[in-house]
Structure formats: C-alpha cells, structure tokens
Chains A and B, each alone.
Chain A
Amino acid sequence: MPKIMRQSAIVVRYHLLALAIALMFVVPLVWVVAASLRQPGLPPSPSIEWLPNPPAWSNYSRIFQIAPLGHYLQNSLWVVLLAVPITLVVASWAGFAMAQLPPPIRRWLILLTVLLRMVPLTALWLTRFMLFKYLFLIDTYWALIAPAWMGSSPFFVLLFYWSFRRMPPEFIEAARLEGMGPLRIWAAVAMPLARPTIMTVGVLTFVQYWSDFVNPLLYLKSERLYTLPIGLQILQQLDITNWPLLMAGSVVLMAPVLLLFFLVQHAFWPEGRLSGPYGR
C-alpha cells in the first residue's frame, strides 16, 4: 500500500511540473486573447486582466474596417491554396523516388536534404530577388510560392520518404508485377497509404505560407496583392499604441494556424518505430 501511494505521489508531482511548464508556454497566448477584448480608449489596466468586462468583440470588426484586412486575408488564402497542392505533389514525388533508390544513393540524398535544411534563408534574399526580376515574377504570387516547386522544404521530402519507407515493399512489388507504372503506383498505392503524412505536410505547408512575412515584404510591391502578415504590419503603422486592435489582428493571424495544429497534433508526435501500422 505505501508503495502505491508513493508511486501516485510521483505521478502527481510529475503532472504538476509538466502542467506548470505547459502553462508557461500557453499563458502569453491567453493574455493576448484577453487583451484583444479590451475596450479601446480605456486607460490600460493596472493589473493583469484575464477577461475584460464587458468584452469588446467589436474590436474584431473594427480592424477589418480601418485596414483592408479582409482583402489581404483573401490574398493569403489564394497563396496557400496554390502552394499547398503543389508542395504535396512535388514533395511526395521526390520522397517516393528516394524510397525506390538503392541504399548508397539514398543515404547521400538524405544527407543532402539535411544539409539543404541548414542553408540560411537570408542568404537567398538578394539572388532570388534578381532571379525573380529577370523572370518578371516580382510583384506576383509566383515569387511567393516559388519554393513550392521544390517541395517547399527538404524536411517535407524527408517526411514523405520516411512514410514510404515504412510501407511493406511487397505492396509496391505486387503493383509493379501487375504492370503499373511508377506514376500509377504513386497515385493508387503509395499516396492512399500515406494519408497521415499528407495531413502533416499539408498543415506545415499551410503554416509556412500563411505566416510568411519576409517574402511578401521583399517581392511584392502593389498594395492590392499584400497578404495578411503585411496587413498586420500596416495595422501596427496606423496606430502603434492601440493594443486591443493590434492584439485582435494577431489573434486573427494566428487562430487558423493554431486550430490546424490542434487538428493534426496526434499525427505529429512520434510513437516510436515499433508501434504503428507499418512497424518494421
């Protein structure tokens, strides 16, 4: 009996510690939601506020009136709508091809993708700008979604590679014996089995393009093309001290990302190699 008590005390202590740490990471985001609901124009609260009374939901409609955020939001959706499907097709093709290669080449390609992930994006600003200028892509969305044609991130290719590697090779072999070409095997056999990876990569791609601030800043010129992150910068320049509105804008920008992340969190955390449907 004492042993059980001691063990449950350890469990309780563990959860208290983990909960405290989790709160440290989440509380700032809760503060933001509270701050976004504060009546603009009121003197700032002298203590930390958890729920303003009364909550000013009108802040959320105000920000769409003082800046064309609705239009920018539409633009952001267009960019994401273009980038996500292209990324999924290219990254899964590359991953599928890698999974079919003999081991020595494969290992080199994996090393290469890991190294490519190490390239600082800042190093590409100037030359991409010149490249896009000569291709007349400056001030178009093609400049923003250019990385999608390369799978958006070497990491996405690796994710697809891992999930294709975990599939029983007999499946692919059987399809090949039936006379299917690589494209048919990819579409009919491999992709349907990789559904969790498609979800994960899809969400990560969405996050990457939705949150992208630097590329629109560098490559877009016309105001009518601006995306939501640039809109938030404009909101900040309009009135840097109107915190309730700025926080409402931040919530609008981060809400879809957090929501999607919650939806796929189960596929996101590793379960260990030996569990799962395709354990080796």
Chain B
Amino acid sequence: MVLLPTLLSFLLALTEYDAISPPVWRGWQNFAAVLQDQLFLISIRNSALFVLLTAPLRLLGALALALLLNRPQPGVKIYRTAVYLPTVVPSVAYALIWLWIFNPIYGPLNLLLGSLGLPTPAWLVNDKTALPALAFMALFQLGEGFAVLLAGLQEIPQDYYRAAALDGANRWQMFRYLTLPLLAPWLLLVAMRDIIVSVQGTFTPALLMTGGGPYYATLFAPLLIYETAFDRFRFGEGAAMMLLTFLSTGLLLLTVYKLVGGWGYADEV
C-alpha cells in the first residue's frame, strides 16, 4: 500500500497521462517542465516557509505544555484534554472556523485586537499576512506531539530525579542533563512527523480558505499537485511535482536527523 504506489508514481512521472487514454512515455520531460514552472517553485518556497514557521514552534509548544501538564495535580487531565481539543476538530470545520476568526472586519480575532488598541491586519486577504495566519492557526493543532512527549516524560523513572536532587541539581540542570537527553528520541520522532504533517496539512486550509491566494501567497505544493492532477488531468506532471516535493521533504528530514545526531532508539518499546 505504500512501497508499490511510490514505485508506480515514479513510472507515472515519466509519462503523459490524463486518466482516460493510456499513458504515453515522456521520459524526463515532466521533471524538466516542472522544474522550470514558476508556480511549482513558488509552491515549494511557500511550503518550506510554512514548515519552518510551524514545525519548530509546534515542537517547542508541545514540549512546554507537556512539561507543564506532566505534574500530578488534580484536574490536570482536564487541561490536557482542552489542549488536545483543536487537534481532533475535523479539518473542514477547523478551516471554516478560522476563516471566520480571521475575518478582517467582524472576525473575533480583530474585534479582540481592536478592543486592546492593537493593529488589525487583513490576515488572509493580504499577501503579507496570509501565510503567517495559516501557520498561526496550525499552531493550535499540536495535540499529537504533546501526547507523545507526555508519554515520553512518563517513561523517565522518578528515581533519576530523586538521585539528581540528592546530588544538589537545580531544576534547570535536571531539565538540561536529565529530561532533555532522555526525551531526545521522542523529540526527534515528533519533529520528523510534524514536518511531514505540516507539508500535507496545508491542503484543506489552502483549498477552502484562500484558494492559494492572494497572489499565490498560500499556494502550497499539495494544492498545486491536486490542481494539476485532478483539475487539469495532467497526472504525469502531478506525479513529478509530488516526487520532487517529497525529495525535498526527505532532504529536510535528513538534515534534522543529522543535526540531532542519530537517534538512540529506546531498546524496550
């Protein structure tokens, strides 16, 4: 279900295919055409920008929330559930909700900002703020990383902290030399999954909220692939775009992996 489609899409990328007549062999022409396509380059740039904005912030947010809500306080489960709620909202409903929240004139966000005397940008209608706005709304959907990191924190035996406390470690030292290294494999896992989800997660908001505009400011790779393949029936080109998109995602993942320096996989899962 996964390997075979990847192989098939590679073959598809070398053909001209419109889903009706049989595929025609085109060799590398699709790749050459796609790489010269201005729109494709814009969509890759936008996707990269979106990932670089959301993935680190979501990881930091998830880590901070997991640390905060890991304490055995009464009622802590209610807070955890609250933090997770936006993540389970169906993508279509989430997009429509935020379309309304971002409404420049009577959306609640600008009403709130206005009542505080802050500037009220036009959000999705302005090509400078549209992409950051979509990134902002994606920040609230960090539940998955939050849950994984919470599970990771609970795997750390309490004895370690007691021993560290006996050695006179303060809270920052405990975090820096105990929590962080033990949490590293989980953080890497969340970071990599987050990058992938950020790339594909742009599709529904871009389709329903901005249609890729204004001035292609929110044209992301998945939206362009969808339009190329399913609206204009150019499957070969769509497949070539898809492979190039995932080649660049793969390179990004590899960079992250190298930066963190290999992962010590927890031996007893």
On whether A265 and B12 interact (CB within 8 A), knowing A28-B86, A125-B225, A250-B93, the answer reads: no
For B81, give its contact among A29, A118, A127, A262 (CB under 8 Å).
A262
Using C-beta atoms within 8 Å of the partner chain, give the interface range for chain B.
Answer: 35 or more
Whether A123 is near chain B, meaning CB under 8 Å from some CB there, is: yes
A21 to B66, CA, bound (A): 12
**CB of A273 closer than 8 Å to a CB of B:** yes
Please judge, given known A-B contacts A126-B229, A261-B85, whether A147 and B1 are in contact too, CB under 8 Å.
yes
Among A46, A213, A273, which residue has its beta carbon within 8 angstroms of that of B155?
A273
Q: Give bound CA distance, A133 to B229, whole Å.
A: 14
Q: Is A22's CB within 8 Å of the partner chain B? A: yes
Closest Cβ of chain A: how far from B192's Cβ, in Å?
6
The answer to whether the Cβ of A48 comes within 8 Å of any Cβ in the partner chain is yes
User: Is there an interface contact between A210 and B68, defined as CB atoms closer than 8 Å?
Assistant: no
A116-129 contact mask (Cβ, 8 Å, vs B): 1 or 0: 11111111111111
Contact of B82 among A25, A48, A128 (CB under 8 A): A25
Contact string, A245-264, partner B, CB cutoff 8 A, digits 1/0?
A: 01101110110011001100
Question: Would you call the interface of chain A mostly helix, strand, loop, or mixed?
Answer: helix
* Interface majority SS (helix, strand, loop, mixed), chain B: helix
Given contacts A111-B265, A261-B88, A269 and B101 within 8 Å (CB-CB): no
A164 lies within 8 A of chain B by Cβ: no
Determine if A243 is an interface residue (Cβ-Cβ < 8 Å).
Answer: yes
Question: Across the interface, which residues of A come within 8 angstroms of B84, CB to CB?
Answer: 261, 268
A254 and B90 within 8 A (CB)? yes
In the complex, which residues 87-101 of chain B have their Cβ closer than 8 Å to any Cβ of chain A?
A: 88-93, 96-98, 100-101
Evaluate contact between B189 and A114: CB separation under 8 angstroms: yes
CB within 8 Å for A48 and B242 given contacts A17-B68, A236-B96, A261-B88:
no
1/0 per residue, CB under 8 A from A, across B130-149: the answer is 00000000001000000100
Tell me if B269 is interfacial: C-beta within 8 Å of chain A: yes
Shortest CB-to-CB span from A200 to chain B, Å, is 11
Return chain A residues, CB-CB under 8 Å to B253. Answer: 118
Question: Contact at A124–B89, with CB atoms within 8 Å?
Answer: no
B198 to chain A, nearest CB (A): 10
A162 contacts which chain B residues (CB < 8 A)? 269
Q: Does B183 contact A (CB under 8 A)?
A: no
Q: Is the CB of B154 closer than 8 A to any CB of chain A?
A: yes
Could you tell me which residues of chain B, from 35 to 89, have a CB within 8 Å of some CB in chain A?
65, 68-69, 71, 73, 75-86, 88-89
- A214 and B85 contacting across the interface, CB-CB below 8 Å: no
For residue B137, give the distance in angstroms from its CB to the closest CB of chain A: 9
* Contact digits for B176-214, partner A, Cβ 8 Å, 1 yes 0 no: 000000000000010011001001100110001000000
Q: Which residues of A contact B25 (CB under 8 A)?
A: none
Query: What residues on A are CB-neighbors of B79 within 8 Å?
Result: 18-19, 21-22
Looking at the assembled complex, report how far the CB atom of B182 sits from the nearest CB atom of chain A, in whole angstroms. Answer: 14
Determine the chain A residues whose CB is within 8 A of the CB of B199 once the complex forms: 120, 122
Q: Which of B147, B230, B249 sits near A120, CB closer than 8 Å?
A: B249
How many interface residues does A have (CB within 8 Å)? Answer: 77
Can you name the residue of chain A whose Cβ is closest to the Cβ of B245? Answer: A122
B93 touches A253 (CB 8 A): yes
Partner of A253, one of B5, B92, B221: B92
B29: A residues at CB distance < 8 A:
none
| A117 CA / B106 CA spacing, docked (Å) | 40
How distant is A169 from chain B, measured CB to nearest CB, in Å?
15
Docked pose: A249 CA to B77 CA in angstroms = 29
Q: How far is the CA of A232 from the CA of B229 in the complex (A)?
A: 23
The reply on B129 being an interface residue by CB < 8 A is: no
CB-CB contacts of A1-41 with B at 8 A, as 1s and 0s? Answer: 00000000001001101110111111011011001000000
Shortest CB-to-CB span from B179 to chain A, Å, is: 15
Known A207-B88, A211-B92; 7 more pairs at CB < 8 Å = A22-B82, A28-B98, A120-B200, A129-B229, A146-B1, A218-B226, A232-B93
Q: List 6 A-B contacts (CB under 8 A).
A: A21-B79, A122-B203, A127-B8, A129-B19, A247-B97, A271-B154
Nearest 8 Cβ contacts at the A-B interface: A211-B90, A127-B5, A44-B106, A22-B82, A250-B93, A229-B92, A127-B8, A272-B154
